[in-house]
A and B are shown apart, each in its own frame.
Chain A
Amino acid sequence: MKLTLNKFHVKDIQFAEKSSFEGGVLYIDKAELAEYLLKDSNISSVDFDIARPGESTRIIPIKDVIQPRYKKSGTGQIFPGFVGDVETVGNGETNVLEDCCVATSGKIVAFQEGIIDMSGPGAEFNSFSKMNILVPLIQPIEGLDKHTHEATVRIAGLKTAAYMAKQTLELEPEETQSFEHETILEMGVKYPDLPKVIYVDMVQCQGLMHDTYVYGLNVKGILSTLISPLEVFDGAIVSGNCAAPGHKNATIHHENNPIILDLLKHHGKDICFVGVLLSNESAMLKEKMRAAYYTSNLSRIIGVDGIIASEEGGGNPETDLMLNCKFHEQKGIKTVLVTDEYCGRDGASQGLADVTPEADAVVTNGNGNQFVVLPKMDKIIGDIEAARVITGGNANSIGDDGTLSVEIAAIMGSCCEMGYEHMTTRLR
């Protein structure tokens, strides 16, 4: 399969009479986009706001972050199961808006966190602060239950992202990037001497605000399954996970899965990157065991020499991560784990909820318990009350001057467990 990403770099987003992409500026006709979103009868009203790098702006609470993409050619359409139908994606051409994202905001539950600061110390903890961000503010109809509310906001975000990228459909890209990925049997013939590697992508599927969708299917209760890396680039995996912003895998992380991107860079050179095994993180212990046994057995059936596994969230997912490590290593399959830590304010605690001696190769993406003081911002997009509520509604955590003392775990994507950011911890 071959997929080409046509890249358009967004220097600014502006509201205009007519939606278009011109000279690096994405113009958005609010009325047209609103009309598109309001086709969902669960939405009573929608408004939009823009946040730009360097501005004194805070977006809170954020549910999901999505990179605008739209398929120009090939089968299926972006975000299959939501925007596109369920036809297979991952081939042809896909237009991508770089340096740009959609951040869905709005209050679904009372305590929700997820901060993006466009400037100041908070901006140093994620890449989103360096992007031009369109924020749809979705007002649901009255009496909508929380599950439907979450789904409504999720789908509106995906539609917004697709709408934005669609503006480039007739344009020549500034840059293209092509990926080719053979069938597994072809790889075996083509790279007989390279070590075979699988990426185990653990996704959370545990209930309200804790779910992940593949081709629109909530993957709770599935047996581990195989997916092509190129399908993932076309939005085959969508996040419905709204808790723990510092280390949840947002849709943009899936679309740009950094582990897949790096494995593809090495593919055919020093490793043979066979594909991606999707494995869910259940709340039940038997499911966790089943998933790890099943995943490690799939790796064995395929004939893999090594895996790299990433988790989503913290606490119980560490058990899945450690089981995957243990069972793969027991089968002689070399394993690397990607995680983050909650090792306390001073970094002296044991930062994982579960450990195993086989885990001798672990990448950490930071300590989510580090506290950071976020200065007052001139503009808040989203819900001003959320800023008060995320730190437990304690007046002490908000200074008289409007500063906010939070853990970096409240900052969107700060310790991304796919290794999207450039952070680790060091022992001192």
Chain B
Amino acid sequence: MSIKYRCISNNPLFREKSFPGLEYHETDILSLFRLISSEVASGSKLLSHPLTGSIRPDITPYKTVLISCEKGEPDCTSVLLMEKAIRYTEDLYKLREVPLYERWGEAAKADFQMIDYSIIKQALEVSA
């Protein structure tokens, strides 16, 4: 089966699992969102919401976003949603001098990775 999405992620667990369609970036969520924002501006469509799950982007170090392979005219909903997600994340990054996501130990990081992974896996199961 061909893959209909690009999986943009900073979560190393996806790399470990050789997740199909993965485009891994070793960076923080805000930079990842900015990168996705430029993909969306050039015509990719968001398939998943950038702010998946209930764990805030200033708390978890990892987010994974699915976008379309095909590019067309820029999709207004996707562009606006990315803008809002970036603003939301920027504001939350300002909450503390050192945002929480930079402070975790290995065990916590592994758990964050697993939850982010579980969310994307479940999203794809439900919405094939």
Q: Which residues of A contact B127 (CB under 8 A)?
A: 221, 282, 284, 286-287
Task: Tell yes or no: A110 within 8 A of B by CB.
Answer: yes
Q: Which residues of B contact A146 (CB under 8 A)?
A: 111, 114
- The count of chain B contact residues (Cβ–Cβ below 8 Å) is 48
State in angstroms the CA–CA spacing of A192 and B72 once bound together. 50
Q: Which residues of B contact A248 (CB under 8 A)?
A: 54
Chain A interface size, under 10 / 10 to 19 / 20 to 34 / 35 or more: 35 or more
Residue-wise, chain B 61-88 has the 8 Å CB interface mask toward A (1 for contact) of 0000010000000000100010011011
* Least CB separation from A245: chain B residue: B54
Name the prevailing secondary structure of the A interface residues.
loop
State in angstroms the CA–CA spacing of A204 and B115 once bound together. 14
Contact A110–B92 (Cβ < 8 Å): no
Contact A109–B115 (Cβ < 8 Å): yes
Q: How far is the CB of A389 from chain B (nearest CB, A)?
A: 7
Q: Which residues of B contact A342 (CB under 8 A)?
A: 56, 88, 91-92
Task: Tell yes or no: A244 within 8 A of B by CB.
Answer: yes
Name the prevailing secondary structure of the B interface residues.
helix
Contact B104–A319 (Cβ < 8 Å): no
State in angstroms the CA–CA spacing of A285 and B52 once bound together. 10
Whether A284 touches B49, Cβ cut-off 8 Å, given contacts A206-B122, A342-B92, is: yes
- Picked from A284, A285, A350, A389, the residue with its CB within 8 Å of the CB of B126 is A284
Task: Tell yes or no: B108 within 8 A of A by CB.
Answer: yes
State in angstroms the CA–CA spacing of A285 and B44 once bound together. 14
Q: Which residues of A contact B13 (CB under 8 A)?
A: none
Task: Tell yes or no: A243 within 8 A of B by CB.
Answer: yes
Q: Which residues of A contact B95 (CB under 8 A)?
A: 344-345, 369, 407
* Least CB separation from B120: chain A residue: A283
Residue-wise, chain A 277-313 has the 8 Å CB interface mask toward B (1 for contact) of 0000011111110000000000000000000000011
State in angstroms the CA–CA spacing of A404 and B114 once bound together. 28
Task: Tell yes or no: B107 within 8 A of A by CB.
Answer: yes
Q: Which residues of A contact B108 (CB under 8 A)?
A: 109-111, 389, 393
Contact A284–B48 (Cβ < 8 Å): yes
Taking A243-B115, A392-B96 as given, write out 5 further A-B residue pairs in contact, using a Cβ cutoff of 8 Å, ordered by the A residue number. Answer: A207-B121, A221-B127, A243-B55, A248-B54, A393-B103
Residues of A within 8 A of B (CB): 109-111, 146-147, 204, 206-210, 220-221, 241, 243-244, 248, 282-288, 312-316, 319, 342-345, 349-350, 353-355, 369, 389, 391-394, 407
Q: List 19 A-B contacts (CB under 8 A).
A: A111-B111, A207-B115, A220-B122, A221-B127, A244-B55, A282-B123, A283-B52, A283-B53, A284-B47, A285-B47, A285-B48, A312-B54, A315-B53, A316-B53, A343-B91, A344-B95, A353-B85, A391-B100, A392-B98
Residues of B within 8 A of A (CB): 46-57, 59, 66, 77, 81, 84-85, 87-88, 91-92, 94-96, 98, 100-105, 107-108, 110-112, 114-115, 118-123, 125-127
